[in-house]
Structure formats: C-alpha cells, structure tokens
Chains A and B, each alone.
Chain A
Amino acid sequence: MHRDAVLQALVLVAVVAGMVWLVGNVQSNLERQNINSGFGFLSERAGFGINQTLIDYTEDDSFGRVVVIGLLNTLLVSILGILFATLLGFSLGVARLSRNWLISKIAMVYIEIFRNVPLLLQIMFWYFGVLRNLPSPRQALSVGDAMFISNRGIVVPWLEAGAGAMWYGLGLLALAAGFIWLRRRALNAKLTSGQPTQVWRPLLVLALALFGAAAVMAGVPFALDVPQLKGFNFRGGVTVIPEFVALLLALSLYTAAFIAEIVRSGINSVNKGQREASAALGLPESLALRLVVIPQALRVIIPPLTSQYLNLTKNSSLAVAIAYPDIVSVLAGTTLSQVGQAVEIIFVTMMIYLSLSLFTSWAMNRYNQRMAFVGNAT
C-alpha cells in the first residue's frame, strides 16, 4: 500500500511537472512571437463570408457567431447523415440476410466496397470528381424546370411561409400524434382479439379535418418560390451547396456499410427458437420481426450503433478538405489563419467535439438502459 502511494505520487508529480513545463514553453513562445492569448477574439469582427449559414450572418458579425454557425453546420450534416445512414444501413443489413441470393450478394459487395475505401477519398470523389464536373448553371440539368442541378449546387423550390403557417404546423403535429395513437390501438386490438382494425381510413379523415380547420383559420399562407436562371446563376428557391451534398452523400454511404454489418450481426444474434416460437403462436413473419426479433436484436445493435453515430459526427470534420463550413473548417481553418491563436482555437474545437461525444453517449446510454433485459441485469 505504502509503495502504491509513493508510485502514484511520483506519477502525479511527473504529470504536473510536464504540464508546467509545457505551459511555460507556450507562454514564452507566445510572448516571443507576439501572439495574443485569451478568448477576446471571439467578440471581434470576423470579416469573411461563409457560403452556408443557418442563421443570419454578415462579414461584420463576430468570431463568436462564426463558431455558432460552424457548429450548426456540423450538426446539420451529422443529423441528416445519421438519418440516411441508418435507413440505408438497416435496409442493407436486412438485405444481407435475405433468402434471395442475389440481394444478399449485392448488399455484400456494397458493404465490402464502401467500408474498405477511405472516407476522405470518397468525399473528394463526390466533390471534385462528380459534383464539380457537372455543367455550369446555364447548362444545368433540370428536373421539371423546378429543380436545377449544376456545379454550383442543387437549387430546389421552397415554400415561403406567411403569417398563419403555424396553424398548419400544429395540424401536422396533431396528425403525427393521431397516427401513433391509431397504430398503437390497432396493434393492441390485434393482439387481444386477433381482429384487424382500420388505421389508414380514420387517419385520412383526421387529416382532412385538421387541414380543413387550418385552412378555415388561416387561409393559404404559402407561396411557392421556384428558382429561375438570372444571368449566370439562379434566383429564388433554396440552393444546397455542392460541398454539403458531397459530404452528406459520402458520410451516409460510408457509415451505412458499417451499420449494415452491425444490424446483420444483431439480427443473427437472436436465437432461432424465438422466431420458431413466434411462428408457433401464429404471428405472421412481419409481426414476428417487429415484435419479437427486432426488439431483442436492438439490445445488441444499439451500443455499436452509438459509436457509429459518434464516428459519423467526428468524421464530418473532414469537411475541411472540401471547404464545407463546418466547425473545424471555419474555426481551425479560416479563423485560425486570421487570428493565429492556435492554442485557444484548437482547444475550443476539441471541447465542442468532446461535449457532442459525451452528450450522445449519455443519451444513448439512457436509451440502452430502457432497452436492457428486465430482471437480467448484469
């Protein structure tokens, strides 16, 4: 015990001494190179433009606002990426287990190709190889004269919402709630009485009633904003920049390959007897999958799935290679080159990712606890 305490004290002293030495070096280096320190720069004028901002931004705004914009861009691409990668990954994972030989092999080839090629290469392929090679806006590929695909990005029509659009939003929320309630009621009825219950017809009635009510309350507060070619570029609509498309595409396709493998091993881990038992109870294949197999597979799937989500979020930092304005690109790229305060800027960037990681693992752990075996806690 005595030896342990001495050992630990030595380790602690060594680490602290190392830190002090490093901080001392940093201070003398900064003084010698005349670099400011502290976080004062966050309130200074940024003075550069950003090509995708989810909140209002001009060059006169501060570096602090730049951080927020970068963070929002990172979150946008990560959340959409997680959504698409999950959908594609689950489909591929199920396809990999299909009884159909061809489907299973196609899924296998997809998985083996996409997860064995570096993500950065895939991002660059989509951006420099495909999207930047598209025709200029004047020769843009057009989809029904409403959506235009060119090397400046994808321009899509957008609904301009006026006053009263809120009523429609509320109606949509109520409809979603109604849908969930109807589904649950139908399932309960099916499990207790074996009789099927209508879901879609009452839902349609509900939708008509809700949107009718919204129309009475607020009229039609929407105007369709269709993009049009003016000079060398498009006016109107919403432009999705090619950097975003390339990053989202590469992140989703790459991560989907990993999720597919996780889903496959998860479903495989469910005992065959569970399927046989549900068949013996008369559950049709689809219900057996939804009520018996998937809930058990999820226990195996969720922990590695969480780490894939975290990987995707961290991988979105590769945006810097194609200048998509994510947090690393605007902070450790542009801001760093303007301000020069490497220590503070890298620290802030790392802290943001650390908090994102910790928050995601916390949230997923909560969910995982709810899904865990009841009465079989280990």
Chain B
Amino acid sequence: MSAKTWTPTPARPAPANTVGFVGWARENLFATKFDSALTVFCAGLILYVLDVVFGWAIVDASFSGEDRNACLKQVQGACWPFIDAKLGQFIYGRYPEMERWRVDWVFALGLLGLVPLLMPKVGFKRANVIFMLGFYPLFSFFMLTGGSFGLVPVETSDWGGLLVTLVVAVTGIVGSLPLGILLALGRRSELPIVRALCVGFIEIFRGVPLITVLFMASVMLPLFLPDGVNFDKLMRCLIGVALFASAYMAEVVRGGLQAIPKGQYEAAAALGFGYWKTTRLIILPQALKLVIPGIVNTFIGLFKDTTLVLIVGLFDLLGIVQLHFTDSSWATPETHITGYAFAAFVFWVFCFAMSRYSIFMEKHLSTDPNQ
C-alpha cells in the first residue's frame, strides 16, 4: 500500500477586482456612490486646471524675443522672455555687472558650507559650524560690500533681488538664534527682573506685525541714535528682522527647554556643574536638537517675511520683480502674472525644500519606537 500524500489544491487567485490597480481604485476612488461622484468631479476639476495652467505656461506662451513685441499675440500666455531678459536683475539687483562674480562666490561658498551641515551623516559638524558662523559672515561682508582687499565698494542701495532676500533671511536666522536662546533662557530664569524683561520683549515683538517693526527700524531708529550716527537702510532692516525673529525663536527654544526632564538638571547639579556649565554642556545640546524642526519652520516663516522689506523701500526678489513691471519696453497684459509666477516659483522651491528637510529631520531625530 503506497502512502498517499495529500496536497491541497493551490489557492485560487484573489478576485481580479480586489487586486492591482482596479482593486486600489475600487477602494480609494470608488468606494461608495458618493465617492465615485466626488472622484469624477475632482478628475474634471484637475483636468480643467491643468489645461488652463499648461495652456498659459507653455502652449500660448512666448519663449524668445527682445522686447514686449514678442508677447503681444492674439491669445497670449506667459511672457517668458521678460524673465529671461531681467534674470540678472532678479538675482543681483543693480549690483554692478563686473562685480557679480563676488556674489557668485558668496553663494557658492554658502552652499559648500551648508550642504554638509544639513546632512546628519557627514562629520566635522563643529568645524563646519565655526566656519559658517565665524568665517563665512566676515567673508560675505567683505566680499559684498567691498572697499577693502582691492575690491570696488558697492553701496547696499545697489543690492537687490535674490541677493537681498538671502542676505536678510540668513542674517535674520543667524542673528536671531543666539538672541533667541538668550531670551528663552532669560524667560525661564529664576531672576525676576531678567525674566520680566525677557517676557516683555518676547510678547511685545510677537504681538505686533513685522511691518510695524520695519517701519520702526526705518523711520524711528534714526531718531533713537545720537546725531551723526547712522546705519544704512539695509542694516536697519536687518536689525529689525533679527529682533523680530528672535522673539519667535525664543518661544521655539523654550519649547525644547521645557521638554528636558528635571533629572538632567539634578544630575548636572550632582556633578557640581554651575548654571552656565549645565546649560552649555547638558541642557542646550539636547534642547536644540529637539527643536530643529521648529527652528527650520521659523526660518521658513522668516524667509517668506523677507518680502516685507519692499514696503520700506528695499528691493528684494519680489520688490525687484515689482520694480521691473514699470519698464515700458516690457509692458504687456501678461507681464505681471509672469513675473509673479516666477517669483512665486523661486520662493516656493526654497520653502518647500526647507519644509521637507524639517520633516526629514523630525523623523531622523525621533526616538519614538512606534514610528
């Protein structure tokens, strides 16, 4: 008698309409009648929007030409030659063309320092931070303003475009971080007078719009200084932006300080550490690491807020785009929209990249085992 091995018949494949794309669509797009109706409506909406956007940006757009005549078709889409012709202005403002290499160097060196700093796996963080906070600002200052090392001086009133946007944003963040940390420590201090001053500063700057701070910097600051002492306008705006951003930064850092368990302070005290030693070696390294996403978010807000300097008469990217609308050799019905679309795209790329980086860091730094 030969032994018979029972082999089960192989399982039948899942019904075709529950797997693959069809199954996915049934679950995620057509689950109920209402869902199906919504899906059809949304698909129509998307097609319509795509049609309008592509029609404007590509199909009906002009791509080459020397002046406004290139952009006066019957059905006119975007006027890209305008951007092409003005690109140098949009990036450097009225910075002399012969000297633009200096700006390029500043951009390049900044990128060179920033990229490894942002990648968690690359080492030499301490050296990099010292480079970025010590050497780089000095280098940029002398490169951009000139007047020494044989460089031609360039007035800040000639700066413009993306250069001003980045200068304001980077100075804002570099200035606001140390000030914000001090304010946050002051707000949690046990010394009542220090605490009251810090709370007052933070709440006042968080309670008023940036534009009033910029107005204050541009029309009130000159009155506060003794006769004869005067900063240029860009410098005054930088001070205003840095003070404003530091109040927000202080609240972000305070969040990190509050998250440090009491045991850390007690352990430091048990080792005989004083206040500054505890703060510098135990508390801040942990607290700042916790709030990196918050710091990046503050930076995104600050980056978008740099556009406000155009109201007090500086020409950042948006300001310079706005300024060139008045150029009559490029006056077409589509110039405005094209210019805004370009500026919006540049700002969007920066902000979106930063927000993705913030999410990446949040995941990278998370110690939550459930994620």
A and B held together in a complex? yes
A321–B337 Cα distance when bound, in Å, is: 17
With contacts A119-B304, A332-B215 known, is A103 near B42, CB below 8 A?
yes
With contacts A12-B193, A116-B355, A320-B311 known, is A353 near B208, CB below 8 A?
yes
Decide if B31 is an interface residue (CB 8 Å cutoff): yes
Decide if A216 is an interface residue (CB 8 Å cutoff): no
A290–B281 Cα distance when bound, in Å, is: 49
What residues of chain A lie closer than 8 Å to B31, measured between beta carbons?
A: 99-100
A52–B193 Cα distance when bound, in Å, is: 45
Contact check, B28 vs A321: say whether CB atoms are below 8 A apart. no
B183-220 vs A, Cβ < 8 Å mask (1 yes, 0 no): 00000001111100100000010111111100110011
Contact check, A317 vs B322: say whether CB atoms are below 8 A apart. no
Contact check, B191 vs A32: say whether CB atoms are below 8 A apart. no
What residues of chain B lie closer than 8 Å to A318, measured between beta carbons?
A: 209, 211, 308, 311
Contact check, B204 vs A354: say whether CB atoms are below 8 A apart. yes
A343–B43 Cα distance when bound, in Å, is: 56
What residues of chain B lie closer than 8 Å to A26, measured between beta carbons?
A: 223-224
Q: Please, how many residues of chain B have a CB less than 8 angstroms from a CB on the other chain?
A: 56
Contact check, B318 vs A120: say whether CB atoms are below 8 A apart. yes
Decide if A338 is an interface residue (CB 8 Å cutoff): no
How distant is B209 from chain A, measured CB to nearest CB, in Å?
4
- Give the residue name and chain of the B residue nearest to A361 (CB): B207
Decide if A217 is an interface residue (CB 8 Å cutoff): no
How distant is B299 from chain A, measured CB to nearest CB, in Å?
13
Docked complex: A8-51 residues within 8 A CB-CB of B: 8, 11-12, 15, 22, 25-26, 28-30, 32
For chain A, what secondary structure do more than half of its interface residues adopt (helix, strand, loop), or is it mixed? helix
Decide if B153 is an interface residue (CB 8 Å cutoff): no
With contacts A29-B223, A102-B29, A346-B220 known, is A121 near B347, CB below 8 A?
yes
A25–B228 Cα distance when bound, in Å, is: 11
With contacts A117-B351, A317-B212 known, is A124 near B318, CB below 8 A?
yes
How distant is B151 from chain A, measured CB to nearest CB, in Å?
32
How distant is A127 from chain B, measured CB to nearest CB, in Å?
10
Contact check, B340 vs A124: say whether CB atoms are below 8 A apart. yes
Decide if B348 is an interface residue (CB 8 Å cutoff): yes
With contacts A102-B39, A128-B336 known, is A336 near B219, CB below 8 A?
yes
A133–B311 Cα distance when bound, in Å, is: 22
Q: Which of A26, A124, A358 has the most CB of B within 10 A?
A: A124
With contacts A30-B223, A100-B35, A117-B347 known, is A8 near B209, CB below 8 A?
no
A336–B311 Cα distance when bound, in Å, is: 15
Decide if B225 is an interface residue (CB 8 Å cutoff): yes
A305-344 vs B, Cβ < 8 Å mask (1 yes, 0 no): 0000000001101101100000010001000100000110
Contact check, A29 vs B211: say whether CB atoms are below 8 A apart. no
Decide if A357 is an interface residue (CB 8 Å cutoff): yes
Docked complex: B11-45 residues within 8 A CB-CB of A: 28-29, 31, 35, 38-39, 42-43, 45
Q: Which of B29, B211, B310, B347 has the most CB of A within 10 A?
A: B211
Docked complex: B323-371 residues within 8 A CB-CB of A: 325, 333, 336-337, 340, 343-344, 347-348, 351-352, 355
Docked complex: B268-311 residues within 8 A CB-CB of A: 300, 304-308, 310-311
With contacts A102-B29, A346-B212 known, is A129 near B344, CB below 8 A?
no
How distant is B232 from chain A, measured CB to nearest CB, in Å?
18
Decide if B227 is an interface residue (CB 8 Å cutoff): yes
What residues of chain A lie closer than 8 Å to B208, measured between beta carbons?
A: 314, 349-350, 353-354, 357
Contact check, A125 vs B42: say whether CB atoms are below 8 A apart. no
How distant is B217 from chain A, measured CB to nearest CB, in Å?
10
With contacts A25-B225, A116-B351 known, is A121 near B343, CB below 8 A?
yes
A121–B345 Cα distance when bound, in Å, is: 11
Decide if A112 is an interface residue (CB 8 Å cutoff): yes
How distant is B215 from chain A, measured CB to nearest CB, in Å?
5
Decide if B46 is an interface residue (CB 8 Å cutoff): yes
Contact check, A129 vs B336: say whether CB atoms are below 8 A apart. yes
Contact check, A315 vs B209: say whether CB atoms are below 8 A apart. yes
How distant is B125 from chain A, measured CB to nearest CB, in Å?
28
Contact check, A28 vs B227: say whether CB atoms are below 8 A apart. yes
What residues of chain A lie closer than 8 Å to B300, measured between beta carbons?
A: 116
Contact check, A8 vs B193: say whether CB atoms are below 8 A apart. yes
Decide if A7 is an interface residue (CB 8 Å cutoff): yes
Decide if A220 is an interface residue (CB 8 Å cutoff): no
A103–B43 Cα distance when bound, in Å, is: 9
What residues of chain A lie closer than 8 Å to B225, measured between beta carbons?
A: 25
Decide if A106 is an interface residue (CB 8 Å cutoff): yes
Decide if A113 is an interface residue (CB 8 Å cutoff): yes
Residue from the list B45, B222, B307 in contact with A118, Cβ < 8 A:
B307
A332–B45 Cα distance when bound, in Å, is: 43
How distant is B77 from chain A, measured CB to nearest CB, in Å?
14
How distant is A25 from chain B, measured CB to nearest CB, in Å?
5
Decide if B226 is an interface residue (CB 8 Å cutoff): yes
- Give the residue name and chain of the B residue nearest to A357 (CB): B207
A67–B193 Cα distance when bound, in Å, is: 35
Contact check, A11 vs B197: say whether CB atoms are below 8 A apart. yes
What residues of chain B lie closer than 8 Å to A122, measured between beta carbons?
A: 344
Decide if A4 is an interface residue (CB 8 Å cutoff): yes
- Give the residue name and chain of the B residue nearest to A122 (CB): B344
A256-278 vs B, Cβ < 8 Å mask (1 yes, 0 no): 00000000000000000000000
Decide if A232 is an interface residue (CB 8 Å cutoff): no
A358–B200 Cα distance when bound, in Å, is: 13
What residues of chain B lie closer than 8 Å to A106, measured between beta carbons?
A: 42, 45-46
With contacts A113-B348, A116-B351, A328-B209 known, is A343 near B223, CB below 8 A?
yes
Residues of A bordering B, CB below 8 Å: 4, 7-8, 11-12, 15, 22, 25-26, 28-30, 32, 99-103, 106, 112-113, 115-122, 124-125, 128-130, 133, 314-315, 317-318, 320-321, 328, 332, 336, 342-343, 346, 349-350, 353-354, 357-358
Residues of B bordering A, CB below 8 Å: 28-29, 31, 35, 38-39, 42-43, 45-46, 190-194, 197, 204, 206-212, 215-216, 219-220, 222-227, 300, 304-308, 310-311, 318, 322, 325, 333, 336-337, 340, 343-344, 347-348, 351-352, 355
- 16 residue pairs bridging A and B, Cβ less than 8 Å apart: A4-B191, A7-B191, A8-B192, A11-B193, A120-B310, A120-B311, A122-B344, A125-B337, A128-B322, A129-B336, A314-B208, A315-B209, A318-B308, A332-B212, A342-B223, A349-B212
* Sample of 8 more A-B contacts, CB < 8 Å, known A4-B191, A349-B215: A11-B191, A22-B224, A116-B348, A116-B351, A118-B305, A120-B310, A120-B311, A318-B311
Report the 9 A-B pairs with minimum CB-CB distance, sorted nearest first. A116-B351, A314-B209, A101-B28, A357-B207, A118-B304, A317-B209, A342-B219, A8-B193, A354-B207
